[in-house]
Structure 1
Amino acid sequence: MKSIYMVFAIFCTPLLYAQDDVKMHISTKVNDQNMQQIMDFEGINLTQFNFENKNLQNAFYALNIKEFKDGNLIETYRLFDGSESPIFQLDSSIASFNIITKISDGEFSIGLRTSRFASKKLTFPLYEDTSRYALKDFTLNSNTLHVSLTKPIHLLAIITPKMNPDGSGSYCEVAQSGVTPELLGKEFDIPHYFLVEMQFYTNKGANSKPQ
């Protein structure tokens, strides 16, 4: 009997992993060069996200903005909550949306857009010089990552750079360090930054309702 349980565990573990695994693709490409120049001038970024997993059918998602100061989480803001209306429920195994951000004139603004609906726009004051903030994702050498269906997903960070002894700064070293995003401030002495975090919610299991 014990050997039967062992065989069951061996074959079920990869299956459960596959059900939980979500393919995430990120793109920042804007095909219109003139539009890209205008966006650069205005401090606007558009990041496209695409998620694929058969268990996304009938699921919904929520996005939070987490603000950190002096290495500590000071506030969490809800950008979008898909549980507010049935219209937000996913009708296929694919979820797609754009996140639009603007960093300009001492403020950071963010909103979500899809082909069917849009979130509210949130705006936050910046405590450092505006030119020091940059939008970064957590990809390394690929625009496609595999993330969890049941755990929070870190999408973007709005950060100031890690300062090097020679006076230069590095953004990529921070975002692509592999350090847990909630610990970036303490690890790299970043006084103020934001995280964009999302989570899927299904009608199954513990992740059925946003917190």
Structure 2
Amino acid sequence: MKKLKILAVALTCFGVLQAQQKEVDFNNPTGLKMETEYSSDNSEIHDILSFEGIDYQKIKFSDEELKGKSYKLTVKEIWDGNIKTETVVLDSKNLGVKEFETLKDSVLNMKVMSKLTNDNQLKMTFKFSRFSVTKKYDAIKSDDYSLRNLVDESNLDIGYNKAFYLLAYILPYERADGSKSWCEVGTSGDDIEKWGEKFGIKHYLLFEMTFE
């Protein structure tokens, strides 16, 4: 069995960017790669986005086998440790444009922008080369929401024909001394649907990606 190589640029808990490469066995003999750029690549842009409460990531998937694949992004809304809803953010096969149904290239670029609005909703835009999708999700009144890249932070597997965790929009873990930690949550492994119960997190969004 061949090995899947994941090439990522990870934003560590200390705000330092470092290249990471991971090799794992996967059911599909693929060479799918994922690279992520964060707003902190440019300190001035990072400062502006941080001031406005905006999270921003650029994600690139690449592999020759991406050609001809459809892609789907779904989200689970988790409240008090329970999945309350699970919906489709986008499904390339159902966009209503035939040429968008499957990928014509070996690369898929996606930009993700998110923020908490004044009416306590999480507004998220997923921007692709020729279209974008914007969604809003109910939230609690808190400036502590943070968009995390799970493949980077928890070293998760990616591949074809099987949904994989990609992003989470989370509140922090609040310690007994009153301090808060997002990284302690984001790096805690793949038992992601149990975060609410494990860390006492009131609410978070969990995004899964599928190529097939």
TM score, norm. by length of structure 2: 0.77
1:39 maps to amino acid: L
Does residue 1:114 correspond to 2:102, yes or no? no
Q: Which of 14, 23, 26 pairs up with 2:2?
A: 14
Q: Which of 59, 66, 84 pairs up with 2:76?
A: 66
| Structure with higher helix content | 1
Does residue 1:79 correspond to 2:89, yes or no? yes
What's the CA shift string for 1:18-72, capped at 9, x where partnerless? 6345211111136665544332222222211111222110112111121001111
Counterpart of 1:183 in 2: which secondary structure? helix
Whether the 8 Å CA contact 2:157–2:164 is kept in 1: the answer is: no
TM score, norm. by length of structure 1: 0.78
Counterpart of 1:148 in 2: which secondary structure? coil
Using the alignment, how far apart are the partners of 2:47 and 2:193 within structure 1?
A: 32
Using the alignment, how far apart are the partners of 1:171 and 1:34 within structure 2?
A: 23
Counterpart of 1:130 in 2: which secondary structure? coil
The number of residues matched between the two structures is 185
Using the alignment, how far apart are the partners of 1:152 and 1:125 within structure 2?
A: 24
1:101 maps to amino acid: S
Whether the 8 Å CA contact 2:67–2:104 is kept in 1: the answer is: yes
Using the alignment, how far apart are the partners of 2:176 and 2:44 within structure 1?
A: 38
Using the alignment, how far apart are the partners of 1:146 and 1:108 within structure 2?
A: 27
- In our comparison, the structure showing a higher alpha carbon Rg is 1
Using the alignment, how far apart are the partners of 1:130 and 1:150 within structure 2?
A: 36
Q: For residues 78 and 197 of structure 1, do their structure 2 counterparts lie closer, same or farther at Cα, with a shift above 3 Å needed?
A: same
Q: Which has the higher contact order (CA 8 A, sep 6+)?
A: 1
| Structure with higher strand content | 2
Equivalent in the alignment of 2:20: none
Does residue 1:188 correspond to 2:202, yes or no? no
Equivalent in the alignment of 2:111: 98
Q: For residues 64 and 17 of structure 1, do their structure 2 counterparts lie closer, same or farther at Cα, with a shift above 3 Å needed?
A: closer
Where does structure 1 differ by over 6 angstroms across 4 or more consecutive aligned residues?
A: none
How many Å apart are 1:111 and its aligned residue?
1.7
Q: Percent identity?
A: 28
Using the alignment, how far apart are the partners of 2:179 and 2:125 within structure 1?
A: 31
Whether the 8 Å CA contact 1:46–1:98 is kept in 2: the answer is: yes
Counterpart of 2:65 in 1: which secondary structure? helix
CA-based RMSD of the aligned residues comes to 2.3
Q: Which of 124, 133, 138 pairs up with 1:125?
A: 138
